Amino acid sequence: MKNSSYLFVPGKSKKMMEKAIISIAENIIIDLEDSVALSAKVDVRKEVEIFLKNNNISKNIYIRINDVSTSYWKEDIDLVIETDVQGIVLPKAESQHKLKEICHYIENGLHQSGRMRPDFEVIPLIESAKGIHFAYEIGCSHPYIKRMAFGSIDYSLDIGVNLSRVGTELLYAKSQIVNASRAAEIEGPIDAVFPEINDERALMNDAKAGKQLGFKAKLAIHPKQLETIHQIFKPSEKEVLEAKEIVASFEAAELRGLASIQVNERLVDYPVYKMAKLLLE
174-195 tens-digit pLDDT: 999 999 999 999 999 999 999 9
Secondary structure element (H or E) that encloses residue 75, with its range: helix 73-83
168 pLDDT higher than 70:
yes
SS3 content of the chain, % helix, strand, coil (to 5): 50, 15, 35
Nearest Cα to 68, choosing from 104, 17, 117, 113?
104
Please report which confidence band the pLDDT of residue 235 belongs to, taking 50, 70 and 90 as the band edges: confident
Which DSSP symbol is given to 39? G
76-81 CB contacts, 8 Å cutoff, 24+ apart: 76/32, 76/45, 77/102, 77/105, 77/106, 77/109, 78/109, 79/45, 79/48, 79/49, 80/106, 81/106, 81/109, 81/110, 81/113, 81/115
Q: Candidates 3.90.550.10, 2.60.40.1150, 3.30.470.30, 3.20.20.60; correct CATH number of 5-234?
A: 3.20.20.60
pLDDT in tens, 51-67: 999 988 889 999 999 99
What does the domain layout of the chain look like in residue ranges?
Answer: 5-234, 238-280
pLDDT in tens, 1-43: 468 999 999 999 999 999 999 999 999 999 999 999 999 999 9
Give the per-residue pLDDT at 43: 96
70 pLDDT higher than 80:
yes
Give the per-residue pLDDT at 2: 64
Q: What percent of the chain has pLDDT over 90?
A: 76
Q: What is the mean pLDDT of the chain?
A: 93
Binding-site residue numbers for substrate are 64, 127
Binding-site residue numbers for Mg(2+) are 127, 154
CA-based Rg of the chain, rounded to a whole angstrom?
Answer: 20
Binding-site residue numbers are 64, 127, 154
What does pTM read for this prediction?
Answer: 0.88
Least confident of 133-137, 149-153, 239-243: 239-243
Read off the pLDDT of each residue in 262-268 and give the average, rounded to a whole number: 88
Give the per-residue pLDDT at 77: 96
Give the per-residue pLDDT at 173: 98
